[in-house]
């Protein structure tokens, strides 16, 4: 037989993408439309409670934060960092718990792949969907922040796409863990060992300059740090200092994480 | 006419375990091919390879004359309908939304899909359940919704993995009726099943798999007459097993004698002398019936329960 030895393509082969990710994205949108109100309340209420409790409560004690000679009100400092965290959390939850439900519990992905849709397109759709949810959440929070008068800089328009990129980056990372998970419990590791330390070390609650110097060096490479270094100045009506570098870091992490997530997911589905 | 599917020398190994071993078969247009075999025989793996979900270690699968799996997977799948062993219906959607969303995966326009929803729900006897979610449907309704969903793209061929497992008799009969309607429309079907009555009723041709290999192939009736005597007499009750002993006089009336549990099976071309002789044991109960596919299946694959299956 001429073709009696089919070549099994490597899981590391480049993504084979088509527009078929769109109906998969639409599927998630249609489900979410039915649950949008509770999801919106959950996605916005919690970060806002943090903001009010810490921003106004702790802010009254802290007063302002000195940033490179400039005194910044604590609530503004906190708001500009915590919105990045909201993008991170929103994308992570969706690409972990919700994607895992669809992939593993409901077997939605299996059903989709009996139609002419590749696994690569399904993973792409999940990634974009989770980033869309992050974008939706931060948009609502931004609206409330504007209403509260925390910042009125027109540069916030630029923060918006950056926050979407933050969602993309963390969706890609979360999909790696989704591909490896045997059950929901596995995600606890990701949250306690990865996201929580990052939340405390990326300069949301206090400037990273408070950290020991060696830790400042390490934490400067965290994707959440990169996000905050871009978004915070925009809240302060300033131009970020390392705009391109930080964006490149986010894009680089997103691209490599997506590739790894795709390879691991292909491996999972091959078995 | 060209075969809809032609599978040649398919091999799949998982580690040292060869789950599909040099398997070849084909499906002609309008034909229903049944794949039967014990658990672990390689049925589902074969189906997964036919769908491009598992890559074979060797062999070829050609659809519609010139499309090769997995190379042309998307072009092939756009012409297939699949009902998997486990329902993959979307629990958050109503029956009609399930059809709409699934049609979009085939690149169909919403208008085109919506025109198909009512007839497909009617086909599945689900018209009154258009707004119901899968959680509100019975097992049989869910299976029929899965079948209706698989038809959304006007497939030429259907792949069904145990379509009636877990259904009550009424639901199974309704499913069979629907599948027969599809065959009358000229659709080809590849189905796996554990139910011999289902295989006999629906399939034009059967493929018997065991340990990943084809051990028999043919029309159900032909297979039975090739491998079995036409009549079976089952005998059970106190002391029945003694009748199967090598010195038993009854053995001369049967071509073959098998024991399973407390029951003795006599396979014979001529049952009358055996039935007469059995009158000497009035306390034993016996059942005289024609040989069926289940007898064939058990003869070919053995009566023992398999520990690892």
Predicted confidence band of residue B307 (pLDDT cuts 50, 70, 90): low
Q: What does the pLDDT read at residue A23?
A: 97
Handedness of CA B14, A121, A158, A43 (dihedral sign): negative
Distances (CA, A) of A31 to A4, A171, A175, B94, B194: 44, 19, 20, 11, 36
Q: What is the distance in angstroms between the Cα of A99 and the nearest Cα belonging to chain B? A: 13
Helix (H) or strand (E) segment spanning residue B99: helix B95-105
CA A26 – CA A19 distance, rounded (Å): 12
Cβ count near A220 (within 10 Å): 16
CB-based contact A114 B77, cutoff 8 Å: yes
Q: How far apart are the first and last CA of chain B?
A: 38
Top-ranked range on mean pLDDT: pick from A31-35, B141-145, B222-226: B141-145
On the question of pLDDT at B306 being above 70, the answer is no
Q: What does the pLDDT read at residue B248?
A: 83
Residues in B touching A23 (Cβ below 8 Å) = 101, 104-105, 107
Q: What is the distance in angstroms between the Cα of A12 and the nearest Cα belonging to chain B? A: 16
Please spell the DSSP secondary structure of B123-187, one letter per residue.
HTT-GGGTT--GGGS-HHHHHHHHHHHHTTT--SEEEEESTTTT--HHHHHHHHHHHHHHHHTT-
Residues in B touching A269 (Cβ below 8 Å) = 53
On the question of pLDDT at A240 being above 80, the answer is yes
Helix (H) or strand (E) segment spanning residue B222: helix B220-227
Q: What is the distance in angstroms between the Cα of A168 and the nearest Cα belonging to chain B? A: 23
CA A220 – CA A241 distance, rounded (Å): 14
CB-based contact A6 B89, cutoff 8 Å: no
CB-based contact A27 B78, cutoff 8 Å: no
Q: What does the pLDDT read at residue A158?
A: 94
3-class secondary-structure state, position B18: strand
Residues in A touching B59 (Cβ below 8 Å) = 1, 4, 6
Handedness of CA B92, B95, B99, B104 (dihedral sign): negative
CA B34 – CA B56 distance, rounded (Å): 21
Q: What is the distance in angstroms between the Cα of B151 and the nearest Cα belonging to chain A? A: 11
pLDDT digits (tens, 9 = 90+) for B80-106: 999 998 889 999 999 999 999 999 999
Q: What does the pLDDT read at residue A148?
A: 86
Q: What is the ipTM of this complex?
A: 0.90
CB-based contact B102 A115, cutoff 8 Å: yes
Interface test with A, best of B79, B93, B105 (most A CBs within 10 A): B105
pLDDT digits (tens, 9 = 90+) for A119-170: 999 999 999 999 999 999 999 999 889 988 889 899 999 999 999 999 999 9
CA A103 – CA B147 distance, rounded (Å): 21
CB-based contact A110 B88, cutoff 8 Å: yes
Residues in A touching B75 (Cβ below 8 Å) = 116
Q: Helices in chain A by DSSP H: which ranges?
A: 21-34, 36-50, 59-62, 74-93, 99-100, 108-113, 119-148, 156-180, 186-190, 196-201, 213-219, 223-235, 243-270
Task: Return the ∠ at Cα A123 (arms to B94 and A198), rounded to 5°.
Answer: 110
Percentage above 90 pLDDT, chain A = 76
User: How many CA atoms does the CB half-sphere of B36 hold within 13 Å?
Assistant: 28
The CATH code that applies to domain B5-224 is 3.40.50.300
Residue A5: which of B58, B91, B92 has the nearest Cβ?
B58
CB-based contact B89 A27, cutoff 8 Å: no
Residues in A touching B82 (Cβ below 8 Å) = 114
pLDDT digits (tens, 9 = 90+) for B197-243: 899 999 999 999 999 999 999 999 999 888 888 999 999 988 888 88
On the question of pLDDT at B308 being above 70, the answer is no
Predicted confidence band of residue B309 (pLDDT cuts 50, 70, 90): very low
Residues in B touching A110 (Cβ below 8 Å) = 84, 86, 88
Residue A23: which of B92, B93, B104 has the nearest Cβ?
B104
**b/e per residue, A72-84, with b = 16+ CB within 10 A?**
bbbbbbbbbbbbb
Q: What is the distance in angstroms between the Cα of A1 and the nearest Cα belonging to chain B? A: 8
B108 → chain A, closest CA residue = A23
pLDDT digits (tens, 9 = 90+) for B18-46: 999 999 999 999 999 999 988 888 998 99
Is A188 in CB contact (< 8 Å) with chain B?
no
CB-based contact A115 B105, cutoff 8 Å: yes
Q: What is the distance in angstroms between the Cα of B247 and the nearest Cα belonging to chain A? A: 53
pLDDT digits (tens, 9 = 90+) for B261-270: 888 999 999 8
Residues in A touching B72 (Cβ below 8 Å) = none
Q: Helices in A35-73 by DSSP H: which ranges?
A: 36-50, 59-62
Output the average pLDDT for chain A. Answer: 92
pTM here is: 0.91
Q: What is the distance in angstroms between the Cα of A120 and the nearest Cα belonging to chain B? A: 13
Residue contacts between A and B (CB atoms, under 8 Å): 87
pLDDT digits (tens, 9 = 90+) for A243-255: 999 999 999 999 9
Q: What is the distance in angstroms between the Cα of B190 and the nearest Cα belonging to chain A? A: 15
Output the average pLDDT for chain B. Answer: 91
Is A267 in CB contact (< 8 Å) with chain B?
no
CB-based contact B90 A20, cutoff 8 Å: no
Q: What is the distance in angstroms between the Cα of A4 and the nearest Cα belonging to chain B? A: 4
Evaluate the omega torsion of the peptide bond into residue A97 and state whether it is cis, within 30 degrees of 0: no
Q: What does the pLDDT read at residue B1?
A: 66
B5 bridge partner residues: B27, B63
pLDDT digits (tens, 9 = 90+) for A40-77: 787 788 888 888 888 888 888 888 998 878 899 999 99
Cβ count near A178 (within 10 Å): 28
Q: What does the pLDDT read at residue A132?
A: 96
CB-based contact B107 A116, cutoff 8 Å: yes
Residues in A touching B105 (Cβ below 8 Å) = 20, 23-24, 112, 115-117
Q: Where are the domains of chain B?
A: 5-224, 229-290
CB-based contact B101 A30, cutoff 8 Å: yes
Is A208 in CB contact (< 8 Å) with chain B?
no
Mean pLDDT for A187-208 is 93
């Amino acid at each position: 037989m001429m073709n009696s030895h089919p070549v099994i393509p490597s899981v590391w082969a480049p993504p084979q993408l088509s527009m078929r990710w769109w109906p998969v994205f639409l599927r998630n949108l249609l489900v979410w439309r039915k649950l949008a109100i509770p999801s919106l309340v959950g996605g916005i209420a919690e970060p806002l409670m943090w903001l009010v409790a810490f921003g106004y409560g702790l802010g009254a004690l802290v007063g302002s934060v000195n940033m490179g000679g400039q005194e910044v009100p604590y609530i503004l400092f906190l708001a500009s960092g915590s919105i990045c965290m909201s993008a991170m959390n929103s994308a992570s939850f969706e690409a972990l718990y919700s994607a895992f439900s669809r992939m593993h519990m409901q077997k939605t992905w299996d059903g989709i792949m009996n139609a002419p849709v590749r696994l690569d397109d399904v993973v792409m759709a999940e990634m974009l969907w989770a980033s869309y949810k992050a974008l939706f959440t931060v948009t609502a929070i931004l609206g409330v922040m504007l209403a509260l008068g925390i910042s009125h800089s027109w540069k916030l328009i630029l923060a918006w796409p950056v926050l979407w990129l933050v969602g993309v980056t963390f969706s890609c990372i979360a999909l790696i863990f989704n591909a490896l998970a045997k059950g929901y419990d596995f995600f606890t590791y990701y949250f306690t060992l990865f996201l929580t330390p990052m939340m405390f070390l990326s300069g949301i609650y206090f400037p990273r300059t408070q950290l020991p110097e060696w830790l400042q060096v390490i934490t400067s490479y965290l994707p959440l740090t990169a996000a905050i270094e871009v978004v915070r100045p925009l809240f302060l009506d300033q131009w970020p200092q390392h705009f391109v570098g930080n964006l490149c870091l986010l894009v680089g992490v997103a691209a490599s994480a997506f590739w790894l997530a795709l390879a691991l997911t292909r491996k999972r589905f091959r078995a | 006419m060209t075969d809809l599917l032609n599978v040649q020398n398919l091999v799949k190994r998982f580690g040292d375990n060869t789950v599909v071993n040099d398997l070849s078969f084909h499906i002609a247009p309008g034909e229903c091919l049944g794949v039967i075999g014990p658990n672990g025989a390689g049925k589902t793996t074969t189906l997964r390879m036919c769908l491009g979900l598992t890559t074979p270690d060797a062999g070829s699968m050609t659809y519609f004359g010139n499309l090769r799996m997995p190379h042309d997977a998307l072009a092939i799948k756009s012409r297939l309908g699949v009902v998997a062993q486990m329902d993959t219906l979307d629990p958050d959607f109503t029956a009609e939304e399930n059809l709409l969303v699934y049609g979009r995966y085939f690149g169909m326009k919403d208008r085109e899909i919506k025109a198909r929803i009512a007839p497909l729900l009617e086909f599945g006897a689900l018209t009154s359940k258009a707004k119901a979610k899968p959680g509100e449907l019975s097992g049989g309704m869910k299976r029929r919704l899965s079948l209706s969903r698989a038809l959304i793209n006007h497939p030429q061929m259907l792949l069904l993995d145990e379509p009636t497992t877990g259904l009550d008799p009424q639901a199974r009969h309704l499913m069979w009726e629907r599948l027969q309607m599809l065959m009358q429309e000229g659709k080809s079907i590849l189905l796996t099943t554990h139910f011999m009555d289902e295989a006999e009723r629906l399939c034009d041709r059967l493929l018997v798999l065991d340990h990943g290999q084809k051990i028999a192939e043919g029309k159900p009736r032909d297979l039975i007459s090739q491998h079995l005597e036409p009549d079976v007499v089952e005998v059970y009750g106190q002391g029945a097993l003694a009748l199967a002993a090598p010195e038993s006089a009854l053995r001369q009336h049967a071509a073959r004698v098998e024991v399973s549990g407390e029951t003795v099976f006599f396979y014979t071309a001529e049952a009358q002398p055996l039935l007469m002789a059995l009158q000497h044991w009035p306390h034993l109960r016996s059942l005289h019936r024609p040989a069926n596919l289940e007898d064939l299946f058990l003869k070919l694959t053995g009566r023992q329960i398999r520990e690892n299956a």
